[in-house]
Amino acid sequence: MSLFKNLAVDLTIQADKDVLGGSKFGAWESGVYDTVIELAYVDESKGGAMNINFVFKTAEGKELRQHIYVTSGKEKGQTNYYTDKDGNKKYLPGFTQANDLCLLSAGEALSDIETETKTISLYSSEQKKEVPTKKEVLVDLIGKEVTLGVVKVIEDKYNKPGETRTINDISKVFRTSDHLTANEIRSEETEATFYAAWKEKNTGIVINKAGKNAAAAAGSATADAPKKSLFDK
């Protein structure tokens, strides 16, 4: 059974558009990477915000870990959307990204992805080592291919004034077989035009979010789920 059944796409909520806009072994250079999903498990913050922890791996063995929040906290209803100043409902960026990852890798929306309780090795801050830990794993995603548009980001270290770190963010997600985005598939397009544009604009860039040099990161996107899935390979 999916833990995300209550996060099904709502056609009344405004979806994002395609917008040009941390790794275990050091930050990757900005660019496009074909990956396989090695692990995806569910966690919850102290405030109740649900999140998914992904581990992606390239054919060369490079590993990328991403922590994506898909709902708000309990005080805000644990929803997958927010309401802007004009009263319009919009999806949380993390939900958009996670939903795209599911659609483009497994051909199913996040709300349809099955989870199972598994024991996996995770780092314990208390024990200072990896220990067996029970988590809800998104089993439908394991081993699936997905292509990531990754950007290198410089940001301030938390609670350490004057110190920075270099991380990676997933800016965009593409289907590996044809490099189409979720929006392009819904529009029944056959040319991967956004892939080419994203690659040209972002390959090799560094986004500086540190201190006064903060720069806006590239956006991510998705749209409404169709009645009949267009994402089946």
pLDDT recorded at residue 19: 42
Neighbours of 139 (CB within 10 A): 14
Digit-coded pLDDT (tens) for 70-121: 999 999 999 999 999 999 999 999 999 999 999 999 999 999 999 999 999 9
pLDDT (average), residues 16-31: 65
pTM for the whole structure: 0.80
Neighbours of 182 (CB within 10 A): 30
- Closest listed residue to residue 23, CA positions, set 172, 200, 150: 150
pLDDT recorded at residue 13: 55
Q: Which helix (H) or strand (E) holds 101?
A: helix 93-106
**Phi and psi based region of residue 46 (left: phi greater than 0; alpha: psi -120 to 50; beta: remaining):** alpha
Digit-coded pLDDT (tens) for 37-57: 999 999 999 999 999 999 999
